[in-house]
């Protein structure tokens, strides 16, 4: 939800800001803008549309020449995407960029209107800019302190003040911000990839800390102006990892990175052939203490939790409840200190998941975060954290993050099942071995790319389609359906196969595509009779199953045969064709695969 950057150094600031924003476009891409000091004046350029529009505007209407400034790429919350609503906001004295939502902006606006301020945009951010101007008396730190005391909601703010033409100020509450440091230059950014072209060294800014970039250096203060020394972090991936590397889209690159992502996530957590999560404090003693497990997350991460539920319940016999974070936080959940709440998040910044974490801690439950982004808010706030090592995920549609999230659930389920004596050591080692071999299995499935492309060509003109499955296949279908919806814009629903005849089957008409997932052998016959039901109503059936199962060709139109592993592990290979089908359908429709309409990668607002 919006990306912000700031730069102070010797380079062409406008270029640095644009290049850095390009790495943050996944956070929002409906408009963009920069404010750069030129001859000690704040010069602003902003534009509706992609970053490219802003770049063209700057090239056509005049580049801003300077070495200090701030920039923004937007995902609209208040006010439609337009030039006026684009950031930066402010006036000749102050200019700001903002990521987050100011909840009490109406109240502040009324107050400022009484003081004679006028407003031109519909954004909440403009009120912060004007409030900053109101309190600014020549001392930026004082003005920031006053503003922070008054605004409610989530924010990361980048600010410049006319009287300080060589400085960028920034502060954050619930939206992320990192401070990059290079040789004679310093940066602020919403995420690490923005700075990687220039430096791998950065500080994590905490809530209500203020950073001042000046003279090529970064100084960090608490809100009262006391200087803080912080531990320098080093990015554990390089620019290459955050670039397309020859693939036409990040999504395809990330689908293909899955074998390696699983390897780097799973391998370090195996000791003597057994899962070992003690690194994060999850010892067998601690694990067996929990009476209930809750998994709370959003979107794809929540779908990973659904796989986790089936696997943990099946193997370890511990009840698992999966919740959408935006529901969990408002449903007054019953939690106690014998419960474990697992928060799953690629970005580690998702506002609803973060709040669910806060609530869980408040109610005394232990919290475990399964997170991809190092040092993110959720990772820092949870009692325990297991990092997935997928590397940066740039495509808005999540693929490799899902894969590594479910691989962590397998580790957890195996360890818990063994600790609770539901499976013996031999069985635990056998399952773990299959998990370790999974990168090869996924690689095999990736060879089916052409077949998935062909199937996608049969879907491009569909208006609706259904995904069906039972048990783990149902959990997986939900992810397949979401993937297709978000990037192809084709409406689809995922249904428990056995539930179809309770209403939904009335939707099935001649030629309607139905993607049926049937990898759970004990449920195979049942699922197949549901497939026959849709076929006899005219459906075009795409059937995903084990490669050694021969489905009746009169019933299924296309079969994707998967290499066999234990049924419980089948979601890992089986999700791959669903991702590829969604990807190619989007490509064939000519959509912007990596930046689907209306979406943003990191949802830092409620
Ligand atoms: C879908 C997708 C989203 C995210 C969701 C949670 O492809 O990417 O549904 O999974 O917004 O995001 P994180 O995992 O960052 O909390």
pLDDT of residue 243: 83
Rounded to the nearest whole angstrom, what is the distance from the C-alpha of residue 74 to the centroid of ligand 1?
18
Atom of ligand 1 nearest to the CA of 346: 14
pLDDT at 97: 97
Whether the CB-CB separation of 477 and 515 falls below 8 Å is answered with yes
C-alpha distances in angstroms, 130 versus 45, 52, 125, 169, 526? 18, 29, 9, 16, 63
- pLDDT, tens only, 505-534: 999 999 999 999 999 999 999 999 999 999
Catalytic (active site) residue 428: no
Compute the average pLDDT of residues 123-145. 97
Our answer to whether residue 2 is catalytic in this structure is yes
Q: How far is the CA of 366 from the centre of ligand 1 (A)?
A: 23
**Is the preceding omega at residue 88 within 30 degrees of 0, hence cis?**
yes
Which tokens go with 356? 């669910």
Please check whether residue 140 is in contact with residue 161, taking contact to mean a CB–CB distance below 8 angstroms. yes
The residue whose C-alpha atom lies closest to atom 10 belonging to ligand 1 is 300
CA pair distance 479, 259, nearest whole angstrom: 19
Residues within a 6 A CB radius of ligand 1: 298-301, 345-347, 350, 353, 397-398, 482, 486, 602-603
Q: Which stretches does DSSP call E strand in 490-581?
A: 491-496, 513-518, 540-546, 558-562
Q: Is 299 helix (H, G, I), strand (E, B) or coil?
A: helix
Q: Following CA atoms 372, 377, 382, 386 in sequence, which dihedral angle do they give, to the nearest 10 degrees?
A: 10
Residue 99 has pLDDT above 90, yes or no: yes
pLDDT band at 583 (very low <50, low <70, confident <90, very high): very high
* Ligand 1 centroid, distance to 300 Cα (angstroms): 5
Q: Which of 2, 68, 298, 452 is catalytic?
A: 2
Percent above pLDDT 90 for the chain: 92
pLDDT over threshold 90, residue 79: no
Question: What is the pLDDT at residue 604?
Answer: 75
Atom of ligand 1 nearest to the CA of 483: 7
How buried is 536 (Cβ within 10 angstroms: 0-12 exposed, 13-18 middle, 19+ buried)? exposed
> What does pTM read for this prediction?
0.88
- Distance CA(466)–CA(320), nearest Å, equals 27
The closest-lying atom of ligand 1 relative to the alpha carbon of residue 602 is 15
If pLDDT is split at 50, 70 and 90, which confidence band does 53 have?
very high
Name the pLDDT band for 76 (thresholds 50, 70, 90): confident
Mean pLDDT over residues 244-258, rounded? 94
Ligand 1 atom nearest to 353, measured from its CA:
16
pLDDT band at 558 (very low <50, low <70, confident <90, very high): very high
Nearest protein Cα to ligand 1, atom 9: 299
Q: How confident is the model at residue 78 (pLDDT cuts 50, 70, 90)?
A: confident
Q: Which of 23, 55, 109, 601 does the annotation list as catalytic?
A: 601
Residue 127 pLDDT level (bands cut at 50, 70, 90): very high
pLDDT for residue 324 is more than 80: yes
- Atom 5 in ligand 1: residue holding the nearest Cα: 299
**Calpha distance 382→362 (Å, rounded):** 12
Ligand 1 centre to CA of 600 (Å) is: 9
pLDDT reported for residue 245 = 85
Q: By alpha-carbon position, which residue is closest to atom 6 of ligand 1?
A: 298
Tens digits of residue pLDDT in 347-405: 999 999 999 999 999 999 999 999 999 989 999 999 999 999 999 999 999 999 999 99
pLDDT of amino acid 238: 77
The yes-or-no verdict on residue 459 having pLDDT over 90 is: yes
Give the pLDDT score at 462: 96
- Please give the pLDDT value at position 605: 74
Contacting residues for 215 by C-beta, under 8 A, at least 6 apart: 8, 166
DSSP secondary structure of 41-97:
EEEEEEEES-HHHHHHHHHHH-----SEEEEEEE--SSS-S-TTTSSPEE-SSEEEE
Return the pLDDT at 157: 97
Q: Whose CA is nearest to atom 7 of ligand 1?
A: 397
Q: What pLDDT is attached to residue 77?
A: 84
So what's the pLDDT on residue 242?
Answer: 79
């Amino acid at each position: 939800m919006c990306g912000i950057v700031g730069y102070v150094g010797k380079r062409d600031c406008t270029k640095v800001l644009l290049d850095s924003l390009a790495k943050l476009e996944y956070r929002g891409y409906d408009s963009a803008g920069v404010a750069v000091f030129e001859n000690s004046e704040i010069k602003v350029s902003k534009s509706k549309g992609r970053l490219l529009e802003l770049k063209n505007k700057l090239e056509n209407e005049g580049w801003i020449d300077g070495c200090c400034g701030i920039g923004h790429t937007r995902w609209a919350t208040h006010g439609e995407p337009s030039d006026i609503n684009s950031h930066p906001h402010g006036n000749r004295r102050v200019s700001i960029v903002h990521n987050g939502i100011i909840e009490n902006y109406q109240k502040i606006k009324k107050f400022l209107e009484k003081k004679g301020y006028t407003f031109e945009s519909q954004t909440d951010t403009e009120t912060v800019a004007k409030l900053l101007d109101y309190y600014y008396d020549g001392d930026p730190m004082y003005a920031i302190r006053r503003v922070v005391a008054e605004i409610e909601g989530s924010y990361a703010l980048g600010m410049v003040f006319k009287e300080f033409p060589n400085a960028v100020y920034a502060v954050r509450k619930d939206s992320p911000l990192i401070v990059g440091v290079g040789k004679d230059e310093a940066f602020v950014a919403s995420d690490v990839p923005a700075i990687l072209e220039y430096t791998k060294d950065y500080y994590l800014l905490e809530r209500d800390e203020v950073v001042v970039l000046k003279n090529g250096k970064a100084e960090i203060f608490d809100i009262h102006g006391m200087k803080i020394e912080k531990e320098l972090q080093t990015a554990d991936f390089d620019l290459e990892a955050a670039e397309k590397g020859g693939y036409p889209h990040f999504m395809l690159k990330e689908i293909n990175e899955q074998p390696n992502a699983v390897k780097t996530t799973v391998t370090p957590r195996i000791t003597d052939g057994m899962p070992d999560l003690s690194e994060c404090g999850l010892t067998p003693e601690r694990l067996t203490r929990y009476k209930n497990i809750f998994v709370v997350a959003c979107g794809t991460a929540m779908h990973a939790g659904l796989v986790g539920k089936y696997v943990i319940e099946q193997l370890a016999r511990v009840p698992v409840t999966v919740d959408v974070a935006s529901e969990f936080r408002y449903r007054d959940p019953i939690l106690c200190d014998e419960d474990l709440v697992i928060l799953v998040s690629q970005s580690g910044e998702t506002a609803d998941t973060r709040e669910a974490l806060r609530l869980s801690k408040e109610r005394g439950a232990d919290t475990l975060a399964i997170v991809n982004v190092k040092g993110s808010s959720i990772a820092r706030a949870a009692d325990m954290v297991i990092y997935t090592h997928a590397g940066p995920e740039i495509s808005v549609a999540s693929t490799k993050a899902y894969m590594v999230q479910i691989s962590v659930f397998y580790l957890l389920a195996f360890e818990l099942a063994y600790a609770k004596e539901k499976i013996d050591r031999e069985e635990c080692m056998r399952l773990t071995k299959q998990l370790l071999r999974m990168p090869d299995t996924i690689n095999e499935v990736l060879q089916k790319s052409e077949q998935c492309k062909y199937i996608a060509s049969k879907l491009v003109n569909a208006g609706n389609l259904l995904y069906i499955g039972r048990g783990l296949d149902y959990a997986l279908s939900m992810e397949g359906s979401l993937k297709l919806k978000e990037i192809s814009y084709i409406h689809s629903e995922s249904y428990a196969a056995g539930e179809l005849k309770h209403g939904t089957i009335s939707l099935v008409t001649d030629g309607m595509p139905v993607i049926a997932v049937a990898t759970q052998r004990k449920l195979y016959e049942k699922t197949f009779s549901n497939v026959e039901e849709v076929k006899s109503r005219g459906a075009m059936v795409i059937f995903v199953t084990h490669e050694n199962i021969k489905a009746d060709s009169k019933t299924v139109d296309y079969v994707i045969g998967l290499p066999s592993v234990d049924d419980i592990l089948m979601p890992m290979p089986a999700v791959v064709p669903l991702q590829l089908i969604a990807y190619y359908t989007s490509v064939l429709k000519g959509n912007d695969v990596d930046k689907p309409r209306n979406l943003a990668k990191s949802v830092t607002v409620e």
